Amino acid sequence: MAGRPHHPRRGRRRERRQQHPSRLLQADAPVHRQRPPLRGRPAPPPRLPHGHVPPGPPGADRHRQDHSRPPPARPLCPAYRRPDRRRPSAPRAPAGAGGFVPCLPRPCRRRGRHPHPRVLRHQHRRLRLSQGARRPHRPGHRGRLARPPPRTARPGDLQRVRGRRPCRLRHGTDRRDPAPMTQPALDLETAAGTLGTWLGEADRVLITAGAGLSAAAGYDYGDEDRFRELFPALHRLGLRSRYMVGVPLPPELWWGYWAVHIDDIRFSAEPNPLYQQLRSLVGDKDHWVMTSNVDALFARSGFDPDRIFTPQGDYGRYQCTTPCTPTTFDSRPVVARLLATYDRATGAVTGPLPRCPNCGGEVEINVRIGPEFVDDPYLPAGRRLQDWLGSAADARLLILEFGAGFNTPGVIRWPGENLTRGLPHARLVRVNPTHPETPDDLAGRTLSVPAGAGHLLNALTVPHPAPDPTVAP
């Protein structure tokens, strides 16, 4: 009976199986395994035991390798190493070492995958793709390890973290699984009427504000036209907004930016009309302000400075970078001195840079950027606000939240929701054109206004004419 016809690819598969690490690493396997010759191929040369030097020409002994000590065993080849960058095979272990230290076969050329995925997964957990280990390139294929493009963070349940994919928030302080959100519909007149009713019934008012309120007042950090007008040199460098945290700039350019930016936002003398509208809306109600803004627009527009809590700092103060002292210093004279030496063409200051009055070291603006932030000047106001809220357990508290999104939700947005949950008679009004959603568990005690603060305040302050009964609707 004729035997089965020989398939040319079957021999290569058999050879690959015999080279599998699960066979080569067996303790009872022979050290030097001689494979039978494949059909149609010449027999491979015999393998020489470790330490044996093949005969060579006379005088070649000084070039021979010293095998008196066994070579150190090295790990398996890194996963997904490109075939043209494979290292030479490791030297073979001595006869008493229990087997070879193998080198994995090169990746499959047909699919760009490794023939031993189980070993690769094990190597992934151990090596985590070390420097130089790469998956072979496949045109039009991103690969299993490639990161998909980030999606837009949905309000309330996702958070963007340093350019990574949006991930669900974990349990813990300010990182929790959010409650389901209610999507509001825009009806400005109805919202203004509800807010007016709630404001009249409230005993106390807590105003919380984020960057959206300052943007509605005309201080939009993302306004490219305003940035080009104030910082032409930085605009030529490719910068487009005032969100400059982490931008590597020389100190002369940094302090030139701070001087112009702080002078434009913090030290303007006139009050802001939008903030004045808000102050008129509150009237004589017992109120407090908590804001993440550092521009002092509340204090400059008629609000009591002793009833304003700014946990993120103040542009009007600067501190030691170390810091060497919990004291902060007035930044107005520093800004005036920097503006006197500011060159608009280059965007840099030419005079001496500010130094710490206490230790002579470097200084920075007193805003919360890192762990070196000095918050001692703001803690007394925070304690007074805590005492005020502690005495409002039985009072009807109205929380007016303006422009608090998801850049720093643990400062304004989530504390307002938790405060509404904790106080049985509290109500929350969320005014935000992009993220006005409110938790479902607070239904009936929240009001979502998907509009800017200016539109809502105008609807509240401008009287609407009564309908004419003689005109048919």
Alpha-carbon distance 331 to 328, whole Å?
9
Alpha-carbon distance 274 to 153, whole Å?
30
Alpha-carbon distance 189 to 463, whole Å?
11
Cis previous bond, 55, omega within 30: no
| Single-letter amino acid, residue 137 | H
Tell how strand 313-320 and strand 363-367 pair up: antiparallel
Describe the chain by its helix, strand, coil percentages, rounded to 5. Answer: 30, 10, 60
CB count, 10 Å around CB of 112?
15
167 is in an annotated binding site: no
**CA 171 to the chain's CA centroid:** 18
Alpha-carbon distance 404 to 436, whole Å?
9
Q: Which residues contact 60 (CB under 8 A, 6 or more apart)?
A: none
Alpha-carbon distance 262 to 256, whole Å?
10
Alpha-carbon distance 18 to 15, whole Å?
5
SS3 355: coil
Task: Look at residues 303, 290, 313, 274 and name the one whose alpha carbon lies nearest to residue 413.
Answer: 290
State which H helix or E strand residue 398 sits in: strand 397-402
108 is in an annotated binding site: no
Task: Look at residues 70, 73, 82, 78 and name the one whose alpha carbon lies nearest to residue 136.
Answer: 82
Q: Which residues contact 303 (CB under 8 A, 6 or more apart)?
A: 275, 279, 289
**DSSP characters over 113-171:** --S-HHHHHHHHHHHSS-TT--PPP-TT---TTSPPPPPPPPTTTEE--TTS--EEPPS
What residue numbers does the annotated binding site cover?
Answer: 320, 324, 356, 359
What residue numbers does the annotated binding site for Zn(2+) cover?
Answer: 320, 324, 356, 359
